[in-house]
Structures are given as C-alpha cells and as structure tokens.
C-alpha cells in the first residue's frame, strides 16, 4: 500500500471525479482573467496568474509547466513567488496605464459623478496596493 504523502498532486486531486475538471476550469478562468488583467487597469494580473498556476499544479501538469515556462508570464510569477516584489519599471507601467485608462474612462466615458468617483477610487486603491509591494532591484 502506498504512502499518501507520496502521491502526486494530480493523482490526489483526481481522486474525486469532478474535482479535476473543476480545477481545470478554474485554472483556465483565472488564466484568462490574468491575461485581461495585463491589459485592463482594473484587474490585477499576477494574483490571477498565481491562482491559475496553483489550480493547474493540482489538475494538469502540462498546463502548469506551460505557465511556468511561458516567457511573458514566468518571470513575473517567479519574482513574485520568490521575493513578493515587483520591479520599479513594472510598478510604473502598471500605475501609469491604470491612471491613464481609469481617468480617461472617468472623463470621457462616464456621465455619472458617482461612477467617476468609483473609477478614481479604484485607481487610488490600485496605487496603494502597488506602492506597498516591495520593489525588486533585479530585472
């Protein structure tokens, strides 16, 4: 009889018939949200990528390996996992795009004062979160 500690993450996750497909769907959803977050200033990309990687680790070794080997996703995931940090350039890019997009939407796309305040509030919250993250010296 095998030791339960020796089981692979996939075999332990797939012990329930519905769990593996649910983890795959969740991983795919978070991957899509992460990609959207890379382009939309309201969504954060890295937390969604981290969630997708965790779900793929439990459900699909192939997708997990693809994610951690992807040239655009992998450096950000590794840096964040190892250092819990972002480079100054990444912080500036994220905040610059967020403020440009959210202020543009608040000025040109929204008529409601309440919605303008919500958009500006989101920009402020995003700024606080990003600024509080540790800054990595490495590229």
Query: Is the per-residue pLDDT at 97 higher than 50?
Result: yes
The domain containing residue 24 runs over which residues? 1-83
Instruction: Please check whether residues 102 and 121 belong to one and the same domain.
Output: yes
Instruction: Please check whether residues 46 and 102 belong to one and the same domain.
Output: no
Instruction: Please check whether residues 78 and 39 belong to one and the same domain.
Output: yes
Instruction: Please check whether residues 71 and 100 belong to one and the same domain.
Output: no
- The per-residue pLDDT for 106 is 92
For residue 93, what is the DSSP state? H
- The per-residue pLDDT for 137 is 75
- Kindly report the backbone phi and psi dihedral angles of residue 110, in degrees, each rounded to the nearest multiple of 5, phi listed first: -120, 135
Indicate the pTM of the whole model: 0.57
Instruction: Please check whether residues 70 and 111 belong to one and the same domain.
Output: no
Residues 109-126: what's their mean pLDDT? 92
DSSP per residue over 2-41, as a string?
Answer: --GGGS-HHHHHTTSTTHHHHHHHHHHHHHHHHHHHHH-T
Instruction: Please check whether residues 76 and 89 belong to one and the same domain.
Output: no
């Amino acid at each position: 009889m095998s030791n339960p500690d020796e089981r692979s993450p996939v075999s332990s996750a797939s012990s329930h018939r519905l769990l593996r497909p649910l983890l795959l769907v969740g991983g795919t959803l978070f991957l899509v949200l992460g990609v959207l977050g890379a382009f939309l200033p309201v969504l954060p990309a890295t937390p969604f990528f981290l969630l997708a990687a965790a779900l793929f680790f439990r459900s699909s070794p192939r997708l997990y390996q693809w994610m951690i080997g992807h040239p655009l996703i992998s450096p950000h995931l590794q840096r964040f996992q190892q250092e819990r940090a972002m480079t100054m350039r990444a912080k500036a890019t994220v905040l610059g795009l967020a403020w440009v997009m959210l202020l543009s939407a608040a000025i040109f796309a929204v008529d409601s004062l309440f919605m303008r305040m919500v958009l500006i509030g989101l920009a402020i919250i995003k700024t606080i979160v990003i600024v509080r993250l540790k800054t990595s010296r490495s590229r």
